Every structure is written in C-alpha cells, then in structure tokens.
Amino acid sequence: MKKPILTVDVIFTLIIVLAICVLAIIPTGFDTYVTPNSIRTIAKIEAVDNSMVYTTGSFINLGTQLCDVKVIWGPFKGSTVTARNDLTGRLDFDKFFAPGEKALAVVEYSQDQQIRYVTLIDHFRINVEIILFGLFMLLLILFARWTGVKAIVSFILTILSIWKILIPYTLRGANPIVVSLILVTFLTIVVLLLVGGLNRKSVAAILGSLSGTILTCILALIFSRSFNIHGAVLPFSESLLYAGYAHLNLTNILISVIFIGSAGALMDLAMDISASVYEVVQSKPDISTEDAIKSGLNVGKAVVGTMTTTLLFAYTGGFLGLLMVFMAQGTPIVDILNLRYVSKEIMQTIIGSFGLVTVSPFTAIISGLLFTKKGTDHSIATDD
C-alpha cells in the first residue's frame, strides 16, 4: 500500500512553515531607523588613498582612509564617489578596505537625486553568509533527508521567535525571565515534535528537557544574586541602557541568558536518551520497566560527561582572549576566579551542567514508563 503524501508529520511541518511565514511578516514595532533621503546599497572599492593613515605600534591604524567606490546595486548603480573611512584605533570596530572588496554602504542624496556622500558601514558579508547557510542546509538534507528538512524548519523558527518575540517584548519592559521561559517551553515542544515526530519518544524528550530547563531557571534565580553579579556583564548591555532603555532589568536578562544558553543541549540530551530507550524496547519488547530505565541511565552517564565539557567550551571560548591577557600580566588565579566576567561564566557552566545531570534520570524514567507500558502500541512514525 502506497504511503500517503500528507501524513500527520507532513501536515504538522506545513503548519510550522506557515507559522514561520507569519512571524517573518509581523513587524517588531522597532522600525529600522533610516535617515531621510538615504538608502542602503552595495559598493565596490575601486581604489584607496592611505596617505592620511598612520600606524601606531605595528598594527593599529588611525586617521582617515579615502576610498573611491562604485555603487553596484540600487537606483544609483554605476555611480562613482569618494567615501571617507575614519579609523579610531579600535580593532574590534574599525574596518580597513582594499581595492576589489565590497562594502555595505549608505548613500545619502539631495532632493534632486544627486549623491551627497557615501558612508561605508562595513565589509559586505551577506553573500558569504547565504552561501555558508546554503551549504549547511544541503549537507543536512543529504544526510538526514526529511528529518534534515524539519531540522532546518526548526532552526529558522527558533531564530524568528527570538528576533520577533523575545527581543521586542523584553525591550518593551516585559519580564525577560517569564518571556524567555514561555518561549523556551514553546520551542522545546515544537522542535522536538517536529524533529522527533508526533510520538511518545518526543513526549518523553520534551518532559525530560523541560525538567532541566526549569531547574536551570531556578538555580539561575538563586545564584545570580548569591554571586552578586549585575547583568551589565553582558556584552553591549550598558550601550542598551544609554540608548534609552534604562528601565530594563539587566540582571533578569542575565538569568534568561543562562537557561536559554543551555536549552539546546538539554533538548539534545533528552532526545538521545529517549531514542536510546525506545530502540532498546523495540529490540526487546518484553524488557521490564526497571531494565529500560537502567538502559536510559547508562546512556545518560556516558553522554552527560561530554555534554558538560561541550557547555564549558561554548561558554568560555569567547573569553579566550581575556584569559590570555590575565596570564600575560601574571594575574593571580584567585583574582581571575573572582572577577565578575569569569564568575558569570563559571556560574553559567555549572548551572547548565546541573540541568544536564537532571535531564538524564528524568528522561530515562519517563521513557521507561512510557515505552514499556503494557498493552500499548510501541510503533512510531518512520522519518524518511
């Protein structure tokens, strides 16, 4: 008998795709600021004049770089103009152009449609980002086929949910902890049902993952205050306050960041254990609930250790430069461990690890109870 095209799994995926389309067109309420008589475009660097640029030390550029640029996109396509590129000596913000490179630019023009001047925002990278994401999608689909398609859908849904829901509502003054917890719960349910299918395997993974999320949220609430760490340790948080959002509670945002950061790892571990217990039960249908749970716990023990290290790499990788500065200056280890930035990473890593350790037994127990329940059908939908 030929398998129907519109299965429950396909219909659910189409519903999520529709939700993504709706999210994509919904305005955030924070319209992009646009200067009157200006457009964003792409410009190609034709030539540069570095005569007003001087170097301090061996690598820090100061002064002004003059760039002859040609507009290659938009209503002013083909126009050539000289643009200033002011250098402040900050390597993390300055950009230095060379002939042949492309830049994202803002063209400001007069009422009679004549270009007044061009501001070079930064090197144009969107095309490379699209290529990289396209290669990622292609590899995922080739490897996982239909499951890969659903993984891409869940990936896009997560991005749009954060951009269109979490960030705007937080900026408007909503409690970031409540909004984040609701959003993480929603995404956990949708993503695991989408990728794992509408079955008891996904249900077990959802319940196990949410148990870890709730624990990390509670621990973050407790220890963020015990550590006496202000949310200003988050990058660009002070800039947000000075931009007119002084009403925001940065510490609550920090708490949200902690359990959001571990949510993906929790989902991963929960699905690993749930799927493992399911396979054991499928291979040995007469297995007892106790033995099925033990199998899940054994899998959890093996995975938790590596997942904890994964969190450590993820959280501390961004501070490698800072740690190198400490070592280069001979900073005592006690000072390093007590620094608020380092303490925040320690707290985030350990709290995330608490969640992982909790997910393991909870998911194993739930899976054992669900999959070995007598008199029920253990079959699940096959993902092509």
Q: How confident is the model at residue 374 (pLDDT cuts 50, 70, 90)?
A: low
Q: Angle, nearest 10°, between helix axes 8-25 and 146-161? A: 30
pTM for this model (two decimals): 0.83
Is the pLDDT score of 201 beyond 80? yes
- Convert the pLDDT of each residue in 156-194 to its tens digit: 999 999 999 999 999 998 999 999 999 999 999 999 999
CA–CA gap between residue 210 and residue 216 (Å, rounded): 10
- With a cut of 80, say whether residue 219 has pLDDT above it: yes
Q: What pLDDT is attached to residue 32?
A: 64
Measured distance CA(138)–CA(384) in Å, rounded: 16
pLDDT score of 4:
61
Answer for the pair 264, 310: CB distance below 8 angstroms, yes or no. no
381 pLDDT more than 50 = no
In this prediction, residue 209 carries a pLDDT of 93
pLDDT tens-digit map of 110-141? 888 888 888 899 999 999 999 999 999 999 99
What would the pLDDT profile of 206-216 be if each residue is shown by its tens digit? Answer: 999 999 999 99
Residue 3's pLDDT is what?
56
Average pLDDT for 138-150: 91
**% of residues, the chain, pLDDT over 70:** 93
Q: What is the mean pLDDT of the chain?
A: 86
Per-residue pLDDT reduced to its tens digit, 229-262:
888 888 888 888 888 888 888 889 989 988 898 8
Q: So what's the pLDDT on residue 5?
A: 62
Task: Decide the pairing of beta strands 53-56 and 80-88.
Answer: unpaired
Confidence of residue 383 (pLDDT cuts 50, 70, 90): very low
Residue 39: exposure state from Cβ atoms within 10 A (0-12, 13-18, ≥19): middle
Kindly give, in sequence order, each residue whose CB lies less than 8 Å from that of residue 108, ignoring residues fewer than 6 positions away.
35, 37, 38, 115, 116, 117, 118, 119
